[in-house]
């Protein structure tokens, strides 16, 4: 039985070296930012104040406050909160790439390198694809502070499962 790709290869642009450059990666090509806001309702994202802030052709962005919910005892952004932001963005991105009638996405692995601390304001995660395959997705999530300085780099691997 042949695997069915969760994205349409016709949505990709190939250069002269046959390298792929993604145009719109979302399953719903008319997807708008307002269409995804409900993904943050009633879960950890809502508890931490995560808000989806931008949706591009091949990226999703979200912000999270640096406040009493997301700080560790030293008054710095908790590394775990950064990981929650990263996994939220990557998981939602994977869900937006596939046909929900046929596929579901679950996390396999996440890692994070904490580069710089944040003490106040907001952090913004920018999630872009590294790999979108028929069985796995790999996402790069860069988290920066209000000044645009890099705070964390994360990579999320997601498994794409066929619904039964």
Distance CA 64, CA 28 (A): 26
Distance CA 121, CA 66 (A): 5
Domains of the chain by residue range = 9-162
CATH topology classification for 9-162:
Thiol Ester Dehydrase; Chain A (3.10.129)
Q: Which residues of the chain have pLDDT under 70?
A: 1-22
Distance CA 133, CA 114 (A): 28
Per annotation, catalytic residue among 16, 46, 59, 87: 87
pLDDT at 162: 97
pLDDT at 40: 87
Among 112, 95, 119, 120, smallest CA distance to 40 is for 95
CA 152 to mean position of chain CA atoms: 14
Whether 87 is catalytic? yes
Q: How do beta strands 103-114 and 150-162 pair?
A: antiparallel
pTM over 0.85: yes
């Amino acid at each position: 039985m042949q695997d069915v790709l969760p994205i349409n290869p016709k949505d990709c642009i190939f250069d002269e070296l046959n390298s792929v450059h993604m145009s719109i990666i979302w399953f719903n090509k008319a997807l708008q930012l307002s269409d995804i806001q409900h993904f943050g309702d009633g879960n950890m994202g809502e508890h931490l104040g995560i808000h989806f802030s931008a949706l591009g052709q091949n990226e999703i962005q979200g912000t999270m406050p640096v406040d009493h919910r997301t700080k560790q005892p030293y008054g710095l952004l908790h590394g775990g909160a950064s990981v929650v932001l990263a996994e939220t963005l990557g998981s939602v991105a994977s869900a937006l790439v596939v046909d929900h009638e046929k596929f579901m996405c679950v996390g396999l692995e996440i890692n994070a390198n904490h580069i710089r601390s944040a003490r106040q304001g907001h952090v913004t995660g920018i999630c872009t694809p590294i790999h979108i395959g028929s069985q796995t997705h790999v996402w790069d999530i860069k988290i920066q502070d209000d000044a645009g300085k890099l705070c964390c780099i994360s990579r999320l691997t997601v498994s794409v499962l066929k619904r039964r």
